[in-house]
Amino acid sequence: SVATAHSFVAQAAIDDVDLAALAARLGTPLHAYSSSAIRQRIGGLQAALSGLDATIFFAVKANPNLAILQLMANAGVGADIVSVGELRRSLHAGMPPERIVFSGVGKSADEIAGALTVGIHRFNVESHDELLTLQRLAKAQGVTARAAARINPDVDAHTHAKISTGKSENKFGVSIDEARRWFAEHRQLSHVQLDGLHVHIGSQILTLEPFRLALQRVAEFWRELEQAGHTVTSIDVGGGLGVCYRAGEDHPVAAADYVGVIREALAGYRGRLLLEPGRYLVAEAGVLLTRVIRVKPGIERQFLVLDAAMNDLQRPSLYDAWHDIVPVSDESRPLTTYDIVGPVCETGDTFARNRVMPECVAGDLLLIKATGAYGASMASTYNSRPLAAEVLLNQGRYAVVRRRQHFEEMIAGEQPARHWETT
């Protein structure tokens, strides 16, 4: 693939923090997030939503670091969670329970009970079995759960198959026919207030059409429900707004245009709107700082071996995702072509193939860009590589928000098989 002129423009600072000095102090690989950039995204989206009764619920999975969640909470943003772990993180970061919604196809009874106990805002329900479980557990606790039916609108989001969720073949949500039956039967549910609709069709969506189609189907269903005498007080339009991973090639839709589609599709709707963006708020605010370990002339290709690997950032190996990779220093060097890889022992540990880059030498500092979403959150310790540190930047200053994992932390909880027991 052809490199664009943008793809090797050096970047020495982020949020007015000098990256070479930061890496020298904290080591690499290092996830760095610009809080100014995140606040800007939040502010932009909130401005686009002005005049609407709309609340942003950040999809915690995109970046669950406590400092990020705290930033969200302080900016008036809620949390869209998919596990009790994310629930506990959100509460820990100061997110009020009434600003938490719970999504996911596999909520366990324990997780539902836990969320009921703290009194979260709403459950996005994805199956009849879950609806009945919610009723049973809410009744046991003597509380009423608010619920939305997650609709699978059978819309193609034109994104990577592994992150597409709104086709009827996907495991997510239920058909409008099934949701219609839920509403018809909902008066039998004494402890579930089913008064919302939810839709989320996929992630990294770069055009408006899939959103428009999905929302039109939801709107049609909402009107039908209202006519049948049901009240829809809440419509959750999900997340999925795409970002720019490849300068000059990706052209994400603007927040205002996205909200324009919501306004148009849901014209006349007077209830509350919920949005669940993850990537849009944090992806481009984050970078992965990494050093070149060595340049290895291979048999057929030249390899640039980094100290970051697929365990630090899985997106390229998992989805063949493109991330721009740029030098931190702008000293001018001739361009060359590399396969950019990590030290992990499998060929999938590749960040980029045939990437045109300024020539590198061992010790050079590079940035893998747009790693603020689904970067650290999907990291593992594969190859017994400790989790990288994370740092939040803010107008010339930095705060370590996750220290680099120690070896002892990595093996904590493991032990030799000393005591053999029988069940």
Binding site residues, ligand LLP, CB under 6 A: 59, 62, 80, 103, 163, 200, 203-204, 238-241, 276-280, 315, 319, 373-374
Rounded CA Rg of the chain: 23
Catalytic annotation present for 360 = no
Query: Smallest distance, Å, CB 239 to ligand LLP?
Result: 3
- Separation between Cα atoms, residue 285 and residue 225, nearest integer Å: 40
Instruction: Pick between residue 360 and residue 376 the one whose CB is nearest to ligand LLP.
Output: 376
Query: Smallest distance, Å, CB 79 to ligand LLP?
Result: 11
> How many alpha carbons lie under 13 Å from residue 300 in its C-beta half-sphere?
3
Q: How many CB atoms lie within 10 A of CB 324?
A: 25
CB 27 within 8 A of CB 390: no
Binding site listing for pyridoxal 5'-phosphate: 240, 276-279, 374
- Separation between Cα atoms, residue 371 and residue 351, nearest integer Å: 12
Instruction: Pick between residue 43 and residue 396 the one whose CB is nearest to ligand LLP.
Output: 43
297 CB burial (10 A radius; 0-12, 13-18, 19+): exposed
What is the CA angle 235-165-346, rounded to 5?
140
Instruction: Pick between residue 241 and residue 344 the one whose CB is nearest to ligand LLP.
Output: 241
Binding site listing: 240, 276-279, 315, 319, 346, 374
Preceding amide of 386 cis, omega within 30: no
Preceding amide of 334 cis, omega within 30: no
Query: Smallest distance, Å, CB 319 to ligand LLP?
Result: 6
Instruction: Pick between residue 178 and residue 359 the one whose CB is nearest to ligand LLP.
Output: 178
- Active-site annotation holder among 345, 363, 408, 422: 345
Query: Smallest distance, Å, CB 331 to ligand LLP?
Result: 33
Q: Which residues belong to the active site?
A: 345
